[in-house]
Amino acid sequence: MHLKGKVKYYAGKFSGQDEEVCRQEIDNAHAAAWMEEHIPLLDCPDPVIEEIYYFRWWVYRKHIKRTPEGYIITEFLPKVPWSGAYNAISCAAGHHLMEGRWLRGGEKYLRDYCIYWFKGSGRKYERDYSNWLIHAVYRFCRTTGDHSLAADLFPSMEESYEKWKAKNMHKCGLFWSSDDRDGMEYSAGGSGLRLTLNSYMTAAVYALFHMAKWTGDHFAQEKYLEEAEQLWGRIQTLLWQPDLNFYRGIQAESRDADLGSFTEMDEISGYLPWYFALPHLFEGNTQAEKMGRSFSCLLDSACFYAPYGPRTCSPYPGYLEKTVNHPCLWNGYSWPFSTSQTLTAAAEYLQKCRENRRDTGFGKKGYTDLLRLYADSHYRLNKDGQKICWIDENLHPETGEWEARSFLKERGFPKEAGGYERGKDYNHSTFCDLLISGTAGIHMYEEGKLIISPLLDEDWNYFKLTDVPAGGHLVSIQYDKNGQRYGGPSGFQISVDGNVQARFENVPESVTLPIQKKK
């Protein structure tokens, strides 16, 4: 099937199976045309991964919402009582930016969205939930190659970070957070010094350091680099457990309370430092690789691996217990929110530990196996017994049942909890970014530096991703092991704006290409 034919096929399939409960800017009737115009096209030998790639873009466009302040991206389609202005929620806003940065023409949506959070009505709600918005703005601007938005928002982002410190800094010098305000209600580890907000804020400070370089503010550069190093040092001193080779949170009832004990279980949020490449930035690749050998635990059924996982924590006495009457439990249930964070962390780890990664117990095949596991969870049976693509809030890791949906359905989808099918088409995670920056390995850096570090499974004979926006250009990669899939030369090739820039007999470890931002 021709690549453009895939868009029409998948959009037609998904729309034909859909109960279009809520409509925003782009309805199902216009989904195929919107996708053809905006999304990078994928050809992949794994049919499930490919289908869910197109499904997640089909879902993402549902959440583009026009407001009096411009465009925003929503998390829930129906109005929920805990949202801010225009039904926006900051919890997954970092996911929205990391995913949406790969849309052609996506700047018109995401620039408005960033301004909403830091200069618009969203300022009032931005700190309602822990988030990595500052880092995501930096990554969005780095990907587009246009730093003007970061310069415009820089004072507001500095102000936001200072407010985080005033509200959440514990006397030990790290950030305290409630699991509820982390968007991880009733987690196994509870409230305290968690890897969530501490990773987000360390990444925020490091992003401010980079953006200060863009603005030429040398004082801010020195200030934020020093603060990032200090925060990282405290994370290593207080939260790194060398005997476990993993990070664990420390429990505390409030920001002002004395610190309690370490959590009794491993939580998947312990991988978050790698999401932001913090171990590589501050420890160096050799030490980071040694620390990152814990990624093999993602494939261990005694730890995080489950048939519909990964779990949000390793099994412990309270694993999956319904101790409260609430749909959102993080005591082992699998959440796409954290699964996509973890897979991003795994990709960052593998791409930065290129030389020795085959000795770590977790490599390209492990990454692909987990991506397939994640993709395979994107289904449910409808009332007619038909298997349809689906994304919702959380899953039972052993059965694949969408837990929050079952909980709410049993209670008649209460209006005060968001109403009918509140979690349907839930925009609380990424998937397409995992194919683009992970599997395809496309990363745009400062000064026109494009790096391609693919994580293609060695069993794959072909792979193609076309017209990915990066630095003002369109980047495509193509792999054809035998030269039979695409009718051209065999091997791996990288094209920019339709012109082949590099060819390789086999999939390369990493390629750096200089490309200049278009005027």
Determine the average pLDDT of the residues in 393-407: 97
Phi-psi sector, 189: left (phi>0), alpha (psi -120 to 50), beta: alpha
- Residue 247 in tokens: 């990070």
Distance (Å) of CA 263 to CA 180, 317, 380: 16, 12, 34
Query: What are the φ and ψ backbone dihedral angles of 435, each rounded to 5 degrees?
Result: -80, -35
Average pLDDT over residues 50-77: 98
User: Can you tell me the mean pLDDT for 117-121?
Assistant: 98
Compute the residue count for the chain: 519
* Cα 173 from Cα 193, distance rounded (Å): 10
Mean pLDDT, rounded, for 303-329: 95
Q: How many CA atoms lie within 13 A of 519 on its CB side?
A: 0
CATH class (in words) of the domain with range 3-439: mainly alpha
Per-residue pLDDT of 151-170, as tens digits, reads 999 999 999 999 999 999 99
Locate 186 and state its tokens: 């009733």
Task: Note the Cα 8 to chain centre separation in Å.
Answer: 26
pLDDT above 70: residue 358:
no
Q: Which of 374, 375, 366, 373 is nearest to 457 (CA)?
A: 366
Question: Under a CB-based contact definition with an 8 Å cutoff, are residues 32 and 40 in contact?
Answer: no
Packing angle of the helix pair 336-352, 93-100 (nearest 10 deg): 50
As a whole number of angstroms, the distance between CA 216 and CA 256 comes to: 37
- What would the two tokens of residue 308 be? 């519909």
Whether 519 shows a pLDDT value over 70: the answer reads no
pLDDT higher than 60, residue 75: yes
3-state helix, strand, coil in the chain (%, to 5): 45, 15, 40
What is each CA distance from 77 to 94, 125, 183, 300, 394, in whole angstroms?
Answer: 18, 18, 17, 35, 16
Task: Check whether 378 has a pLDDT greater than 60.
Answer: yes
Give me the residue spans of the domains in the chain: 3-439, 449-519
Phi, psi dihedral angles at 388 (to 5 degrees):
-125, 155
Residue type, 407: F
pLDDT recorded at residue 222: 97
Per-residue pLDDT of 89-103, as tens digits, reads 999 999 999 999 999
Instruction: Give Cα 223 distance to the centre of its chain.
Output: 28
Q: Which residues contact 367 (CB under 8 A, 6 or more apart)?
A: 343, 346, 347, 350, 438, 439, 455
Q: List, for residues 233-273, the tens digit of each pLDDT value.
A: 999 999 999 999 999 999 999 999 999 999 999 999 999 99
When the pLDDT of each residue in the chain is averaged and rounded to a whole number, the result is 96
Distance, in Å, from the CA atom of 318 to the CA atom of 264, rounded to the nearest integer, reads: 10
pTM (global) more than 0.95: yes
Q: Which residues touch 483 (CB under 8 Å, ≥6 apart)?
A: 489, 490, 491
Q: State residue 353's pLDDT score.
A: 87
Distance CA 240, CA 143 (A): 31
With CA atoms as reference, report the closest residue to 360 among 245, 243, 250: 245
**Helices 47-62, 364-376: inter-axial angle, 10-degree rounding:** 60
Query: With 50 as the cut, is the pLDDT of residue 504 above it?
Result: yes
Question: How far is Cα 195 from Cα 197, in angstroms, rounded to an integer?
Answer: 6
Closest CA to 348 of 451, 227, 449: 451
* Cα–Cα–Cα angle for 156, 161, 167, rounded to 5 degrees: 125
- Residue 505 near residue 493 (C-beta atoms within 8 A): no
Tokens in use for 275?
Answer: 């999401």
User: pLDDT tens digits for 462-487?
Assistant: 999 999 999 999 999 999 999 999 99
Q: Is the pLDDT of residue 449 over 60?
A: yes
- 518: confidence class by pLDDT, cuts 50, 70, 90: low
CA angle 129, 294, 374 (to 5 degrees): 60
List all residues 6 or more positions away from 251 whose beta carbon is below 8 Å from its beta carbon. Answer: 189, 190, 191, 192, 259, 260, 261, 262, 263
Average pLDDT (228-235) is 98
3-state secondary structure 210-225: HHHHHHCCHHHHHHHH
Residue 177 has pLDDT above 80, yes or no: yes
Q: From CA 334, how far away is CA 344, in angstroms rounded?
A: 16
The set of residues, in sequence order, having a beta carbon less than 8 Å from that of 266 and lying 6+ positions away, is 244, 246, 248, 297, 303, 304, 313, 314
pLDDT class for 356, splitting at 50, 70, 90? very low
Task: Give, as one character, the DSSP assignment of residue 106.
Answer: T
Output the pLDDT for position 360.
Answer: 58
φ/ψ of 53, rounded to 5, equals: -55, -50
**How is residue 46 written in tokens?**
């794994």
Q: Are 84 and 125 in contact (CB under 8 A)?
A: yes
3-state SS of 324-345 is CCCCCCECCCECHHHHHHHHHH
Question: One-letter amino acid identity for 297?
Answer: C
